[in-house]
Structure 1
Amino acid sequence: MLRKRATRIQAGGCGAAAVSSPSSAGDTIRIGTRGSALALAQTGVVAAAVAKASGSGVEIVTVATEGDHSTESLASLGGTGVFASALREALAGGACDLVVHSLKDLPTAGYPGLRIGAVPRRADARDALCGRDGLTLEALPAGSRIGTGSPRRAAQLRGWRPDLTVVDIRGNVDTRLRKVESGELDAVVLAAAGLTRLGRLDAVTEFFELGRWATAPGQGALALEVREDHSAPFAAMLKTIDHPTTRLAVFAERAVLARLEAGCAAPIGASAVIDGELLFLTATVYAPDGSSSLTSSHALVLEGSAAERAGLPWELGDRVADELLELGAAAIAPLGTAS
């Protein structure tokens, strides 16, 4: 059975030590999420998987975050943490048993008493252009206004089409698409995964291939964050939902961010793939004005014990990030601003 309720969690939630997760089938599992249409859509998919894997009832708890009610740019708000902090406080304080994050919005720094318990199979990691009159990026006339709230996308757009005007925007997917429909903007760039989950692929006029257009570390993937003290049955349920290949890839991408101490204000793209027993990782750092970029690519063989394999994404991410720093990444982008 699936139930929904809403709560607003204030800063300063209690620690997790005195809170336990459901321990047996039949206990209701409370899933925390933001209240946006996209967050609820992706949490609904997770809730169905949790119910199937656990045999328990599921309750969706919506949590208000700073990023949901502020109209300021993400960079000025302090980055990705504006979407994750309240969810993490709700989880640590016992208001829910797990929370669902868009992985690209989850800071790389850990939260006391919490861990990523599962990473479901990744959706489409590409960015997509939603343009007026079916226009692609190359077909947009000079001077066209194109909207994005992402410093990375803004840098890429300025690099590919310096003759366009990039407009900083906020709002949910439908709000952004309406700016194109109304003529306020000529196009917006959005995540293909979000458009898919909301059933809005009809608005896409072009998909940007990953080899040409790097996307945010973790884009298209979800993270199920849980308390560290959960029960064995709860851990078994999480293992059923986890997709090991996705986990390895997105952790490698996130390792680049962590090593570069980069947050939402840093224009960085990363993409990791697994081919056989090889984990490949490519990351690019962009100058905010799109005038230059630096790219590094490396690979590692996936071998050793389970514990050793779990550490390989971080080793690979460090290797890529170190090369970017050696190439001069800190001189072209605002690094050391992790959030």
Structure 2
Amino acid sequence: MTTLRLGTRASALAVTQSEHIAARLRAETGASVELVTISTEGDRSTAPLASLGGQGVFVAALREALVRGDVDLAVHSLKDLPTTPDPRLVVAAIPRREDPRDVLVARDGLTLGELPQGARIGTGSPRRQAQLNALGLGVEVVGIRGNVDTRIGKVLSGECDGVLLARAGLVRLGRADEATEVIDPLQMLPAPGQGALACECRVDDVATTRLLAQLDDSDTRAAVTAERSLLATLEAGCSAPVGALAEIAVGDDGDELWLRAVVGDVSGSPTIRLSASGLPEEAAAVGERLAVEMLAEGADALVAVAAS
């Protein structure tokens, strides 16, 4: 049997995510899989993501390795994928999503509401910064980058009173109990696609596409399709202050898709929050429609400021 070469970033979280997909492929399809680590621009640089161009800095090297044939598939954090498709490649599977919410890891087991005025909260995300400042808690946002250990280390060293992270990453690393608060999406909407993984292969590789398709989760695909359609219509990159979360719920006439979104300024004001609903099979249209409504409320100006 031919061994599938799975391309992954070398970080502990990326390798853990990729090992999870490899294990599922081995168990559910009988495939032989080996991991191939690849260095990306986002991993090599310590500069803010926005200064690197934001979108694609964690996935471009993986995608080029796929196209060259160095690997047969790649596993990405879906939120890192540009919304513009690469015609050479196909996202053949989006497995069931992990918890998409953000968490706080703070000193002394504190929650956001318990942190004192002037507390230093670390995040490299304009989306988190905008929503945190909109809460009016009087905390200071400190720009940070790095892996989970590096970020949590800033709390342990006293450099920050707390840091904001994605819960999905902590869960996958077996470190969910280090979070001192899971933040309600009513306070902080996650990044579009947060908590979901994308399994990508060459568009002409029919055999690998079929194998990966067995891991696809239709509800997750519908939800993230709506979120990413909104992001694309707003013409906002993954580093823009945009949050979105779609969920599938049982309605009177069957499944319904509910999408909530926020576009803000990093200062916390102004902020635009709207929602929309529709059928799961109309996910892309729901995201586009909500984005058009947000643009009519002035979201384009907020996105433009963030990009400048």
TM-score (norm 2): 0.95
Q: Which of 263, 275, 284 does residue 285 from structure 1 map onto?
A: 263
Q: CA deviation at 1:336?
A: 9.3
For residues 218 and 335 of structure 1, the distance between their equivalents in structure 2, rounded to whole angstroms, comes to 23
**Local SS of the residue matching 1:138:** helix
Listed as ranges, the matches of 1:76-95 within 5 Å are 76-95=51-70
**Local SS of the residue matching 1:269:** strand
Per-residue displacement from partner, 1:191-248 (whole Å, max 9, x unpaired)? 00001111112221100112332110000000001111112x4333222100111000
1:124 aligns with 2:102: no
In the alignment, which residue of structure 1 is the partner of 2:202? 227
Q: Which of 213, 232, 236 does residue 210 from structure 2 map onto?
A: 236
**Local SS of the residue matching 2:171:** helix
- Verify the 8 A CA contact 1:288 1:333 in the aligned structure 2: no
**Local SS of the residue matching 1:282:** strand
Listed as ranges, the matches of 1:1-339 within 5 Å are 26-161=1-136, 163-231=138-206, 233-276=207-250, 277-302=255-280, 309=281, 312-334=282-304
Q: CA deviation at 1:275?
A: 1.2
In the alignment, which residue of structure 2 is the partner of 1:22? none
Per-residue displacement from partner, 1:143-169 (whole Å, max 9, x unpaired)? 111100111001111111352110110
For residues 185 and 306 of structure 2, the distance between their equivalents in structure 1, rounded to whole angstroms, comes to 25
Unpaired runs of 5+ residues, structure 1, are 1-25, 303-308
Amino acid at match of 2:103: A
For residues 239 and 249 of structure 1, the distance between their equivalents in structure 2, rounded to whole angstroms, comes to 17
For residues 306 and 181 of structure 2, the distance between their equivalents in structure 1, rounded to whole angstroms, comes to 33
Amino acid at match of 1:239: A
**Local SS of the residue matching 1:156:** helix
Amino acid at match of 1:146: I
In the alignment, which residue of structure 2 is the partner of 1:305? none
- Verify the 8 A CA contact 2:117 2:139 in the aligned structure 1: yes
State the 4+ residue runs in structure 1 displaced beyond 6 angstroms: none
For residues 299 and 105 of structure 1, the distance between their equivalents in structure 2, rounded to whole angstroms, comes to 25
Unpaired runs of 5+ residues, structure 2, are none
Per-residue displacement from partner, 1:162-195 (whole Å, max 9, x unpaired)? 5211011011001110110011110000000001
- Verify the 8 A CA contact 1:33 1:101 in the aligned structure 2: yes
Q: CA deviation at 1:335?
A: 7.0
- Verify the 8 A CA contact 1:266 1:335 in the aligned structure 2: no
- Verify the 8 A CA contact 1:155 1:288 in the aligned structure 2: yes
- Verify the 8 A CA contact 2:92 2:200 in the aligned structure 1: yes
Task: State, as a whole percentage, how many aligned pairs show the same letter.
Answer: 52
- Verify the 8 A CA contact 1:260 1:336 in the aligned structure 2: no
Check 1:336–1:137 CA distance in 2 against 1; reply closer, same or farther (3 A cut).
closer
For residues 298 and 214 of structure 2, the distance between their equivalents in structure 1, rounded to whole angstroms, comes to 42
Amino acid at match of 2:208: F
Amino acid at match of 2:246: A
- Verify the 8 A CA contact 1:262 1:335 in the aligned structure 2: no
- Verify the 8 A CA contact 1:265 1:334 in the aligned structure 2: no
